Homo-oligomer: A and B are copies of this chain.
Amino acid sequence: MKNLESDILIIGGGPSALVAATTAKTNNPDKTITIIKEFDIGLVPCGIPYIFGKTLGDSEKDAMACGGIKTNGIDIVIDKVEDVDIESKKVFSKEYTISFDKLIFATGSIPFVHDDLKEALKLQNVFTIEKDKAYIDSIKEYIEDKKKIIVVGSGFIGVEMADELVCNGKEVTIISGSKYILQNSFDKELAKKAEEILLGHGVTLKQGEYAKTIIQKDGIATGIELNDGSIINGEVLILATGYQPNTALAKKAGLKLARYGGVWVDEYMRTKNKDIFAIGDCSGRRDFITREPSKVMLASTSASEARVAGTSLYKIKYMKGFNGTIAIFSTMVGDRAFASAGITESEAKRQNIEYVSATFEGMNRHPATIPDATKQSVKLIAMRHSGRIIGGQVIGDKEAGEMINIIGLAIESELTIYSIISLQVATQPLLTSAPTTYPIVKAAEMIAKEVS
């Protein structure tokens, strides 16, 4: 057992750990900072589906760069943490005892699998999507000569996996209990457009029925029985049924957990113990709008939390803490970008929010004769009375990935549609819609008309 000391110690190797380390170093140049993580090479989490298709095609290409960390004077220890003693401020790994002054849990998340399906994980052809290079390589190797693949789950990972696999020549069926794909982020009419693309690529969609049992023979899964009794056969089963906070270590250390199992934290990402922080997927999250506990897990949310923690370790430097997750993300289905921020219309209904929504469909270039011009749709959701923007969804070409960040900034800044109506936006023939029909502004106008 070797003894180490570090003023600031971070457990984890994902994006939030890296961002917390560099932010902490920037704000506390005189403090020693150590990251302890289990594997030397990490994967870019949201790049994993692209390892399975032609986009990356190889896990080596999805490696997360840590070069910046090391040159920044941050130590990295590769080892598995087994215990944390909050009283004595020590972390115990297989080979080290590390004393700390400030500790940040950034232990991430692990796949969530429903109890009924858990047993099947033992089978050699049933996989989850873990953020572990060796494991991902083993899936890729296994499916190499297989044809029929079942993906259970229609969230981002499920959809991205299915699309990459089908475009790589596999026969893919998505099974999902939801009525439409990506339902946490998109309303039905937009999700249907993503479904059309998947169907066009040859994906089979089996929706509205849950995977009940995994059928096996001689240690190999042969298919899935749904709750309506139908059976889908496949050679490989990928369970993309969500993730859960990886908080066994924090729980064992005695930290309080929040409703969905994340470590309870305040707006500055502090646990009940002011020297111990938790960030990223392992932290307990709230929704920015509904104020309900949130299951959203996103590297972008994690990076934001990491920056708040990194600037608040010794002193709270900025008033603005992390005030709940905006649930802002984007993906591509085929050559269309789908992006979402805040809450959907169906979530607003569930939460009993009095809202108005409007969708504007235009073109992403102007005039529409510009060679790469294509359709662009923006849906906005706002509180009926105050006009405050609480959600947005964008479908378009790749620029949609940044347009959602305009809507996200509006939500996070508590802006109303009335601020957006007269917003000055840069427009250019080759880059954007026309100034007369900028879709975020037009959707805001449509809402204003509806409530006036």
Between A50, A302, A337, A402, the greatest number of chain B beta carbons within 10 A of the residue's beta carbon is seen for: A402
Q: Look across to chain B and name the residue whose beta carbon is closest to the beta carbon of A46.
A: B429
Within 8 A of B (CB), among A277-304: 298-304
Known A366-B47, A427-B46, A432-B402; judge A413-B412 contact (CB<8 A).
no
Among A50, A298, A431, A438, chain B packs the most CB atoms within 10 A around the CB of A431
Pair B55/A23 contact, Cβ less than 8 Å? no
Question: Is A199 an interface position by the 8 A CB rule?
Answer: no
| Choice from B299, B367, B428 contacting A435 with Cβ under 8 Å | B299
A421 touches B318 (CB 8 A): yes
Selected contact of A318 from candidates B15, B301, B332, B418, CB within 8 Å: B418
- Cross-chain contact A44 with B398 (CB below 8 angstroms): no
A308 at the A/B interface (Cβ < 8 Å)?
yes
> A419-B413, A423-B412, A424-B326 in contact; A398/B431 too (CB < 8 A)?
yes
Name A residues whose Cβ lies closer than 8 Å to a Cβ of B. 15, 18-19, 23, 26-27, 44, 46-47, 50, 55-56, 61-65, 298-304, 307-308, 311, 317-322, 325-326, 328-332, 337, 339, 341, 366-367, 369-371, 397-406, 408-410, 412-413, 415, 418-419, 421-432, 434-436, 438, 441, 445, 449, 452
Task: Tell me how far the C-beta of A113 lies from the nearest C-beta in chain B, rounded to whole angstroms.
Answer: 25
Separation in Å of the A180 CB from the closest CB of chain B?
A: 20
Interchain CB contact (< 8 A) of A26 among B415, B419, B445: B445
Q: Which residues of chain B are near A421, meaning CB under 8 Å?
A: 307, 311, 318
> A300 contacts which chain B residues (CB < 8 A)?
424-427, 435, 438
Could you list some 24 contacts between A and B, CB below 8 A?
A15-B435, A26-B449, A27-B452, A44-B367, A47-B370, A65-B367, A300-B424, A300-B438, A303-B427, A307-B445, A318-B421, A320-B419, A328-B424, A331-B428, A339-B426, A398-B431, A399-B402, A401-B431, A405-B425, A405-B426, A408-B426, A409-B409, A412-B423, A413-B413
Kindly report which residue of chain B lies nearest to residue A58, judged by CB atoms: B369
Query: Are A409 and B406 within 8 A (Cβ)?
Result: yes
Query: Within the complex, what minimum Cβ distance (angstroms) separates A219 from chain B?
Result: 35
Residue from the list B23, B44, B410, B441 in contact with A429, Cβ < 8 A = B44
**Docked pose: A301 CA to B399 CA in angstroms:** 21
Asked if B330 and A299 make an inter-chain contact with CB atoms under 8 angstroms apart, the answer reads no
Q: Which residues of B contact A56 (CB under 8 A)?
A: 367, 369-370
Does A435 lie within 8 Å of B330, measured CB to CB?
Answer: no
**Distance from A87 Cβ to chain B, minimum over Cβ atoms (Å):** 31
User: For residue A303, which residues in chain B have a CB less than 8 angstroms away from its CB?
Assistant: 427, 435-436, 438, 441
Chain B residue contacts of A430, Cβ below 8 A? 50, 55, 331-332, 337, 398, 401
Which residues of the partner chain B approach A408 to less than 8 Å between Cβ atoms? 423-426
Minimum Cβ distance to chain B for residue A443 (Å) = 13
Question: For residue A317, which residue of chain B has the nearest CB?
Answer: B452
Known A44-B366, A409-B423; judge A23-B401 contact (CB<8 A).
Answer: no
Report the bound CA distance from A413 to B423 in whole Å.
9
Chain B residue nearest to A305 (CB atoms) is: B422
Known contacts A47-B429, A329-B428; A415 and B418 CB within 8 A of each other = no
With CB as the reference atom, state the residue of chain B lying closest to A312: B422
Cβ of B426 and Cβ of A18 under 8 Å apart? no
Given contacts A402-B402, A405-B406, are A337 and B431 in contact (CB under 8 A)? yes
Q: Which residue of B lies closest to A18 (CB)?
A: B436
**CA of A15 to CA of B329, assembled, Å:** 33
Measured in the bound complex, the distance between the Cα atoms of B431 and A299 in whole Å is 14
Residues A15 and B428 in contact, CB atoms below 8 Å apart:
no
- Do residues A15 and B426 form an inter-chain contact, with CB atoms below 8 A? no
In the bound complex, CA of A19 to CA of B304 (Å): 38
User: Which residues of chain B are within 8 angstroms of A307 by Cβ–Cβ distance?
Assistant: 421-422, 441, 445
